[in-house]
C-alpha cells in the first residue's frame, strides 16, 4: 500500500478527551475516530489490526469445531421477556421500537437468540454437543464509557455458545475454549493471566476471566506466585488464619463516649486499640430490605460476595436517613448490639474469632468496648464477605497473594440450564425423556484486546505492534524522493516485498525525513526499511525493528532477506 493513496492521517497533538495511552495512540496513529461517547469508527489502519485478531480467533475456534454464524444485532423483545431479562437487565439494554411500536433491543449479548435457534433445530442428544460463535457489534448503554475502545458502548465481541447433554460434556468444551483462548492471547503475544471470576448477572456455575496485565486495567486481580491461584478480587478468597480464633473473653461490655469519632481510624486511635480490634458495621439497602454487615475494622466488604450471598439484584450503602432508621444514630456509630429488629445481621468470617472488640453503640458519639459474640450479640449468619487484597494468605497454599490490575479481554462461563430452562430449549435422551440443554458461553472483546495490546506495547514515541496484530508488517520509506537512485531502489524493493507476500506500507509521501521517522515511530509497524541518499551512496539501505530501532546496514540486494529474518523475530 502506498501511503500517499492510503487513508492514514496522524496527529501530533494528544486529543483532549483521551486519558489512557492506548486511547491516545489509537487516535493519534489514525486507528479510530470518535463519533459519540463510547462509539467509534474503525479507520482503515485500525480495522486491519482488528481483522488480524478476528482471523486468529476464527482459526483457533474452528480448530475446536466451533461453527461461525451471524445473528441479528436487533432482537425482538419477546425473546428477552421469555428469558426474564427484559425486566432484569437494566438501562444498559438499549430498547428500541419499530414503526409499528413493537419493542426490540439492540443486542448486548445473544443468549436468547442462540437458544431460540438451537431449540428449534436440535431435538436429540445425538446432535449434541454443539458450539457456535459469531463476531459482531454489540451495544451496551454503559453509564460511563471511557478509555476509547477499552470500554465503549458499541463494541465488537466474539461470542460463543455451547450446548450439551451432560455436565461432563460441558466441562470438555469449556476446557477446549479455555485452551483456545490461551492460544489466541499467546498468538497476540500478550502478557495475560487466567483468573477465577464471579459469574455476575449472566449467572452460572463456573467462570474464568482472561486478564491482560496493565496499570490502566479496570479490574483488580490477585495471584499467588507460589501455587498459581489467581482470581478477580470480586471472587477471591483468602486462607483463614487459626491464630485469629479463640481469644478468650476477658472483659465486660462497657459504653464509652467517642465524641465526633466516626471512622474506624479515629475510634481506634481515640480508644488506643488496633483498628482490627474494632468491628465496623455497614448498613446496606437492598430490595429485600436493610442489611447490616459486620467486618473487621481494617478490612473492606466485597460487595459482589454480599450480593451473591443475599441473592439480590441491587445493593448499595444505605442513605443517612435509612441508617438512622436502622440504628437510631448518625452514620459512623452503627453496631450489632441493639440494632433495629427488622435489620438482617450478617457477620464476615474475619470477625468470628474476635473477642473483646469495639463496636458502634447505635447512638451518637458512643461506642461499646469489650464486646463478645454470644454474651453481647447473638449472631448466627456468617459468610465470607471479605475483599481480599495484596499480602493476604493464599487460600490454596501457604503462599502470599499479590495484587495487580488487569484488562478483562475474555470471559468464559458455565451457564448451566438458566436459559435453556427459561426458554424450553430441550433435548430428548436415550430413554426418550426431555431435559433442558446444559449451556456454556464464551466472550472475547476484539477492540478491547487490540487496545490492551497497545497498552502493553508502546514507548514514548508510539505504538510497538506485536507482529500478529500489526496492520502492516513492514514500513518502507524513501527519504529523498527527488533523488532518482533513491526512488528507483525504493520502488524495486516495494515490488520485491510485495512479490514475497509481505504486507508493506510504503511511505511515498512528499514529506521531510523527520516527519517520516516520527510517523513511523507513532504507527509502530514492526520492521522498517529505510532508503536514503547518504547510505545508498555507500551501497547500503537500513533495516531495523521498531522495538529497539537498531539499524542494520545492508546492500539493497540483501534487504528483503534481512527484512524476512527480522519479521520472524518481531
Partner RNA sequence: CGGGACGUGGCGCAGUCUGGUAGCGUACCUGAAUGGGGUUCAGGGGGUCCCGGGUUCAAAUCCCGGCGUCCCGACCA
* Minimum CB distance to RNA smaller for 204 or for 395: 204
Q: How far apart are the first and last CA of the chain?
A: 20
x-or-dash pattern for RNA, window 403-442, by CB under 7 A?
-----xxxx-------------------------------
Q: Among 45, 106, 133, 155, which residue sits at the site for RNA (rule: CB under 7 A)?
A: 155
Other C-beta atoms closer than 10 Å to the C-beta of 354 total 22
352 lies in the site for RNA, by CB under 7 A? no
CB of 220 to RNA, least distance (A): 9
Closest to 185 in 3D by CA, of 154, 216, 208, 151: 208
Binding segment (CB under 7 A) for RNA, from list 56-64, 96-104, 124-132, 508-516: 508-516
Q: For residues 267-286, which are near RNA according to CB under 7 A?
A: none
# chain residues binding RNA, by CB under 7 A: 75
Binding segment (CB under 7 A) for RNA, from list 35-43, 48-56, 162-170, 466-474: 35-43
54 lies in the site for RNA, by CB under 7 A? no
Binding segment (CB under 7 A) for RNA, from list 4-12, 161-169, 288-296, 357-365: 4-12
CA distance 315 to 305: 11
Residue 124 DSSP label: B
CB of 255 to RNA, least distance (A): 33
110 lies in the site for RNA, by CB under 7 A? no
Q: For residues 169-228, which are near RNA according to CB under 7 A?
A: 200-202, 209, 218-219
Q: Among 519, 526, 556, 562, which residue sits at the site for RNA (rule: CB under 7 A)?
A: 519
399 contacts 224 by C-beta, under 8 angstroms: yes
Binding segment (CB under 7 A) for RNA, from list 174-182, 329-337, 444-452, 463-471: 444-452
Q: Among 72, 167, 513, 557, which residue sits at the site for RNA (rule: CB under 7 A)?
A: 513
505 lies in the site for RNA, by CB under 7 A? no
Enter the C-alpha cell of residue 554: 545492508
* Minimum CB distance to RNA smaller for 434 or for 485: 485
Closest to 184 in 3D by CA, of 65, 56, 51: 56
CB of 413 to RNA, least distance (A): 7
CB of 485 to RNA, least distance (A): 12
CA distance 241 to 249: 19
48 contacts 175 by C-beta, under 8 angstroms: no
> Strands 382-383 and 344-348: what pairing?
parallel
Site of grid cell 508493506: 504
Enter the C-alpha cell of residue 560: 528483503
CB of 100 to RNA, least distance (A): 26
548 lies in the site for RNA, by CB under 7 A? no
CA distance 142 to 293: 29
Binding segment (CB under 7 A) for RNA, from list 267-275, 414-422, 468-476, 477-485: 477-485
Give 3-state DSSP helix, strand, coil % of the chain, rounded to 5: 30, 30, 40
Binding segment (CB under 7 A) for RNA, from list 167-175, 266-274, 360-368, 527-535: 527-535
Binding segment (CB under 7 A) for RNA, from list 253-261, 299-307, 328-336, 385-393: 299-307
Other C-beta atoms closer than 10 Å to the C-beta of 266 total 14
524 contacts 470 by C-beta, under 8 angstroms: yes
Residue 498 backbone phi and psi in degrees, to 5: -65, -35
Q: CA angle, 283 as apex, 280 and 284 as ends, to 5°? A: 130
* Minimum CB distance to RNA smaller for 22 or for 372: 22
CA distance 334 to 517: 63
Residue 99 makes CB contacts below 8 A (sequence gap 6+) with: none
Which H or E run includes 250? none
CA distance 182 to 444: 11
Q: Among 15, 328, 353, 399, which residue sits at the site for RNA (rule: CB under 7 A)?
A: 15
* Minimum CB distance to RNA smaller for 111 or for 473: 111
Q: Among 435, 467, 518, 547, which residue sits at the site for RNA (rule: CB under 7 A)?
A: 518
CB of 499 to RNA, least distance (A): 24
CB of 558 to RNA, least distance (A): 16
Residue 434 DSSP label: E
Binding segment (CB under 7 A) for RNA, from list 66-74, 119-127, 151-159, 340-348: 151-159
Q: Among 152, 395, 471, 524, which residue sits at the site for RNA (rule: CB under 7 A)?
A: 152
Residue 163 makes CB contacts below 8 A (sequence gap 6+) with: 118, 122, 128, 129, 130, 131, 420, 425, 437, 438, 439
The 3-state secondary structure of 374-422 reads CCCECCCCEECCECCCCCCECCCCCCECEEEEEEEEEEEEEEECHHHHH
CA distance 211 to 200: 16
The torsion region of residue 410 among left (phi > 0), alpha (psi -120 to 50) and beta comes to: beta
* Minimum CB distance to RNA smaller for 410 or for 416: 410
36 lies in the site for RNA, by CB under 7 A? yes
Binding segment (CB under 7 A) for RNA, from list 33-41, 126-134, 171-179, 414-422: 33-41
Q: Among 102, 179, 396, 534, which residue sits at the site for RNA (rule: CB under 7 A)?
A: 534
DSSP assignment of 145-169 equals: -BTGGGB-SEEEEEEEEEEESSHHH
* Minimum CB distance to RNA smaller for 176 or for 408: 408
Q: Among 517, 543, 563, 567, which residue sits at the site for RNA (rule: CB under 7 A)?
A: 517
CB of 512 to RNA, least distance (A): 5
CB of 253 to RNA, least distance (A): 34
Q: For residues 73-92, which are near RNA according to CB under 7 A?
A: 90, 92
x-or-dash pattern for RNA, window 303-342, by CB under 7 A?
xx--x--------x--------------------------
Q: Among 332, 468, 532, 556, which residue sits at the site for RNA (rule: CB under 7 A)?
A: 532
Amino acid at each position: 500500500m502506498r501511503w500517499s493513496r492510503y487513508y492514514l492521517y496522524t496527529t501530533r497533538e494528544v486529543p483532549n478527551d483521551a486519558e489512557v495511552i492506548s486511547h491516545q495512540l489509537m487516535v493519534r496513529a489514525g486507528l479510530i475516530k470518535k463519533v459519540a461517547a463510547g462509539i467509534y469508527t474503525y479507520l482503515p489502519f485500525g480495522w486491519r489490526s482488528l481483522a488480524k485478531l478476528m482471523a486468529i480467533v476464527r482459526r483457533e475456534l474452528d480448530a475446536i469445531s466451533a461453527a461461525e454464524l451471524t445473528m441479528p444485532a436487533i432482537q425482538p423483545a419477546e425473546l428477552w421477556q421469555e428469558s426474564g431479562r427484559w425486566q432484569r437487565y437494566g438501562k444498559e439494554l438499549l430498547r428500541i421500537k419499530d414503526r409499528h411500536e413493537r419493542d426490540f433491543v439492540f443486542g448486548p449479548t445473544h443468549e436468547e437468540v442462540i437458544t431460540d435457534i438451537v431449540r428449534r433445530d436440535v431435538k436429540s442428544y445425538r446432535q449434541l454437543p454443539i458450539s457456535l460463535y459469531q463476531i459482531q457489534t454489540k451495544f451496551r448503554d454503559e453509564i460511563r464509557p471511557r478509555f476509547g475502545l477499552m470500554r465503549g458502548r458499541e463494541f465488537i465481541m466474539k461470542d460463543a455458545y455451547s450446548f450439551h447433554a451432560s455436565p461432563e460434556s460441558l466441562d470438555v468444551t469449556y476446557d477446549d475454549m479455555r485452551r483456545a483462548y490461551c492460544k489466541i492471547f499467546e498468538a497476540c503475544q500478550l502478557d495475560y493471566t487466567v483468573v477465577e471470576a464471579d459469574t455476575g448477572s449472566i449467572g452460572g456455575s463456573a467462570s474464568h476471566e482472561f486478564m491482560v496485565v496493565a496499570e490502566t486495567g479496570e479490574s483488580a486481580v490477585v495471584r499467588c506466585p507460589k501455587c498459581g491461584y489467581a482470581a478477580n478480587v470480586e471472587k477471591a478468597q483468602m486462607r483463614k488464619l487459626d491464630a485469629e480464633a479463640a481469644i478468650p473473653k476477658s472483659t465486660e461490655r462497657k459504653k464509652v463516649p467517642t465524641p465526633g469519632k466516626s471512622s474506624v481510624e479515629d475510634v481506634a486511635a481515640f480508644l488506643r486499640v488496633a483498628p482490627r480490634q474494632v468491628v465496623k458495621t455497614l448498613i446496606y439497602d437492598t430490595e429485600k430490605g436493610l442489611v447490616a454487615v459486620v467486618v473487621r475494622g481494617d478490612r473492606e466488604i466485597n460487595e459482589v460476595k454480599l450480593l451473591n450471598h443475599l441473592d439480590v439484584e441491587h445493593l448499595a450503602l444505605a442513605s443517612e436517613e435509612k441508617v438512622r432508621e436502622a440504628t437510631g444514630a448518625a452514620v459512623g456509630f452503627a453496631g450489632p448490639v441493639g440494632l433495629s429488629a427488622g435489620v438482617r445481621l450478617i457477620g464476615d468470617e474475619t470477625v468470628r474469632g474476635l473477642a473483646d472488640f469495639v463496636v458502634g453503640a447505635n447512638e451518637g458519639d458512643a461506642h461499646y468496648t469489650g464486646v463478645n459474640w454470644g454474651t453481647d450479640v447473638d449472631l448466627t449468619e456468617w459468610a465470607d464477605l471479605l475483599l481480599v487484597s495484596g499480602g493476604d494468605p493464599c487460600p490454596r497454599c501457604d503462599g502470599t497473594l499479590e495484587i495487580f490490575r488487569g484488562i478483562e479481554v475474555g470471559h468464559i462461563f458455565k451457564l448451566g440450564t438458566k436459559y435453556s430452562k427459561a426458554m424450553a430449549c430441550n433435548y430428548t435422551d436415550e430413554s426418550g425423556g426431555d431435559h433442558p440443554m446444559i449451556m456454556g458461553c464464551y466472550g472475547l472483546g476484539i477492540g478491547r484486546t487490540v487496545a490492551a495490546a497497545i497498552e502493553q506495547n508502546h514507548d514514548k514515541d508510539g505504538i510497538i505492534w506485536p507482529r500478529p496484530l500489526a496492520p502492516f508488517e513492514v514500513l518502507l520509506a524513501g527519504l529523498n524522493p527527488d533523488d532518482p537512485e533513491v526512488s528507483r531502489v525504493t520502488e524495486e524493493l516495494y515490488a520485491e516485498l510485495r512479490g514475497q507476500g509481505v504486507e508493506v506500507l510504503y511511505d511515498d509521501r512528499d514529506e521531510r525525513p523527520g516527519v517520516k521517522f516520527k510517523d513511523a515511530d507513532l504507527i509502530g509497524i514492526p520492521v522498517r526499511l529505510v532508503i536514503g541518499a547518504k547510505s545508498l551512496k555507500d551501497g547500503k539501505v537500513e533495516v531495523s525493528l521498531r522495538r529497539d530501532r537498531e539499524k542494520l546496514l545492508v546492500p539493497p540486494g540483501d534487504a528483503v532477506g534481512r527484512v524476512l529474518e527480522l519479521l520472524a523475530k518481531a
